[in-house]
Structure 1
Amino acid sequence: MSTPDDVILDDATWSALTGPLARFALGGDDARCFPPDVCPFSAARDWRDPPRSVRQ
């Protein structure tokens, strides 16, 4: 059985970019990142079919 914490840890970077710190994230519904001077994290909602901006 999954707990809410398990779901967050399944994709910790995406959870950070869409959770309480989302106001600092750049991007849209499919790909996000923090500003490079803040943190080098980026993520796609689904890496099996990443958005075009992430593939380039």
Structure 2
Amino acid sequence: MNTCIGCGTCSAHCPQDCIIPGEPFQIRQEHCLHCGSCFENCPVNAVIRRTE
């Protein structure tokens, strides 16, 4: 289920600027610090945090 509303809040809070806007937004994992800022700031909880 895609709950993303395309607001860009996740991208605005990313310290690495690794979130690419689109349908859906994409996180460039090779640049991601896994800090959780996008996850914590998403107003609709659309970011899925994977723990592996």
Q: TM-score, normalised by structure 1?
A: 0.25
More helix by share: 1
| Higher Rg | 1
Q: TM-score, normalised by structure 2?
A: 0.26
Higher relative contact order (CA 8 A, sep 6+): 2
More strand by share: 1
